[in-house]
Amino acid sequence: MSNMQDKLKIFRSGFVAIVGAPNAGKSTLLNQMMGEKISITSKKPQTTRNRILGVVHRPASQFIFIDTPGIHKAKRPLNIRIVDAAISALGNVDIVLIIMDAAYPDPESEAFIVKKLEKIKQPVILVLNKIDLVKKPDLLAIMDKWAKEYPFEAIIPVSAILGNQIDELVAAMEPLLPEGPPYYPENTITDMPERFIAAEMIREKVFRLTGQEIPYSTAVTITSFSEEKNGTLVKINATIHVERGSQKGMIIGKNGSKLKMIGTEARKEIERMVGAKVYLKLFVRVHKNWSKDTKALRRFGY
C-alpha cells in the first residue's frame, strides 16, 4: 500500500460491553470473537463473576470487549456486588451488546436490563444467541417483539457456540467504533494476569464437575505461581475455598477422585494458555460463610 493510502486509512478503536441475563452465552460469544478462550463458561448461571477484558485486533480496528457477569435481580451479598459491577460496565463504553438466549428467554432479567438501557446514549446491539436451538418462525417473532420495544441499532441472531453469524456481528459493530489509535499493543489480548485466568479455569472445572449448589459456595485463589526451567514448566499451588465442611468432602470426592478430575482438567487448559508444562497442586479449605463476609469477598477478588 502506498504512503498516501496509508494516511487516508481510518483506524477505529473502542470499548464494547457484553451484557445480558445469566447463562445467555456472553462468555462463549467473547471467546468465539477472540478466537481463543479467556473467559470461563458453564451451563450453570452466574459463572462469570468479574469483568473480563478481551482485545480483538483487526486490520482497520481494535475492539476491547468487556464480558460481564449476568445481570439479574440479585439477593445474596456476593451476587449483589457482582451484578453492580456488570451494570457499571455500561457507563464507559462505546457500544453495548445485549445478549439474549433465544431458546430459553429470561423475561424478568431481560426487561430489567432493557430498562437500564433507557439511560444510555451509546448504540445498543441486540444479539439473539443460541439460534441453533430455535425454529425460524419463533426467532422472527422474538426479533419482531424486541424491535418494537427498544430502538436497537441492530438485532443480530447468532450461535455463539457454533460461531454462526459472528463475522456479521463484528462487521455491524466496526463502523460504530470511534476513530482513533489502538488502546493496546498488537500482542495484548487481555489485561488480566495469567494467574487470575488460571484461577478462573480451576473455578470453571468446579462449576462443570460438581453438583447444584457447590459452585456458588466456592472461590479459588492462587497461592503460588512460578515459572521454572526457562519458562518450560509452571508450578501452581491453588486453594479452593468452600463455605462448609460438607462441601469440602464433595469437592474432594471419594478417595480424592473429584479433586483429581478438577485438577487434571484445569491443568490441561492452563497448559494450553501458558504454552508450558504445568504442575498444579490443589488444596481445599473451609472458610465459613465467606460469601457473606465483606473482607473475604475483597480478598477473593469480588
Ligand X SMILES: Nc1nc2c(ncn2[C@@H]2O[C@H](COP(=O)(O)OP(=O)(O)OP(=O)(O)O)[C@@H](O)[C@H]2O)c(=O)[nH]1
Q: Which residues bind ligand X (CB under 6 A)?
A: 20, 22-28, 41-43, 45-48, 69-70, 129-130, 132-133, 159-161
Q: Which does 117 bind (CB under 5 to 8 A by kind): ligand X, Mg ion, none?
A: none
Nearest by Cα to 212 from 45, 92, 95: 45
Comparing every residue's Cβ against Mg ion, the nearest one is 48
* 181 backbone dihedrals φ, ψ, rounded to 5°: -70, 160
* 13 touches 61 (CB < 8 A): yes
Q: Which is nearer to ligand X, 128 or 172 (CB)?
A: 128
Map the footprint of Mg ion across residues 45-64, applying CB under 5 A: 47-48
- Beta-bridge partner residues of 278: 234
Q: Which does 23 bind (CB under 5 to 8 A by kind): Mg ion, ligand X, none?
A: ligand X
Rg (C-alpha) for the chain, rounded Å, is 20
Q: Which does 161 bind (CB under 5 to 8 A by kind): Mg ion, ligand X, none?
A: ligand X
Place of cell 479452593: 240
The whole-angstrom separation of Cα 295 and Cα 222 is 17
Decide: is 27 part of the binding site for Mg ion (CB under 5 A).
yes
Q: How far is the CB of 293 from ligand X (least distance, A)?
A: 23
Place of cell 478430575: 261
Decide: is 122 part of the binding site for Mg ion (CB under 5 A).
no
Q: How far is the CB of 99 from ligand X (least distance, A)?
A: 6
Q: How far is the CB of 39 from ligand X (least distance, A)?
A: 7
Q: Which does 32 bind (CB under 5 to 8 A by kind): Mg ion, ligand X, none?
A: none
Q: How far is the CB of 85 from ligand X (least distance, A)?
A: 12
* 14 touches 173 (CB < 8 A): no
Decide: is 28 part of the binding site for Mg ion (CB under 5 A).
no
**Residues whose CB falls within 8 Å of the CB of residue 172, separated by 6 or more in sequence, listed in order:** 125, 153, 154, 156
* 248 touches 242 (CB < 8 A): yes
Q: Which does 13 bind (CB under 5 to 8 A by kind): Mg ion, ligand X, none?
A: none
- Between 194-209 and 257-274, two packed helices, what is the crossing angle to 10 degrees? 140
Q: Which does 241 bind (CB under 5 to 8 A by kind): ligand X, Mg ion, none?
A: none
The whole-angstrom separation of Cα 270 and Cα 152 is 38
Q: Is 130 left (phi over 0), alpha (psi -120 to 50) or beta?
A: left
Q: Which is nearer to Mg ion, 26 or 267 (CB)?
A: 26
Q: How far is the CB of 21 from Mg ion (least distance, A)?
A: 11
Q: How far is the CB of 222 from ligand X (least distance, A)?
A: 21
* 210 backbone dihedrals φ, ψ, rounded to 5°: -115, 160
Q: Which does 215 bind (CB under 5 to 8 A by kind): Mg ion, ligand X, none?
A: none
Place of cell 439460534: 131
* Contact residues: Mg ion, CB under 5 A: 26-27, 47-48
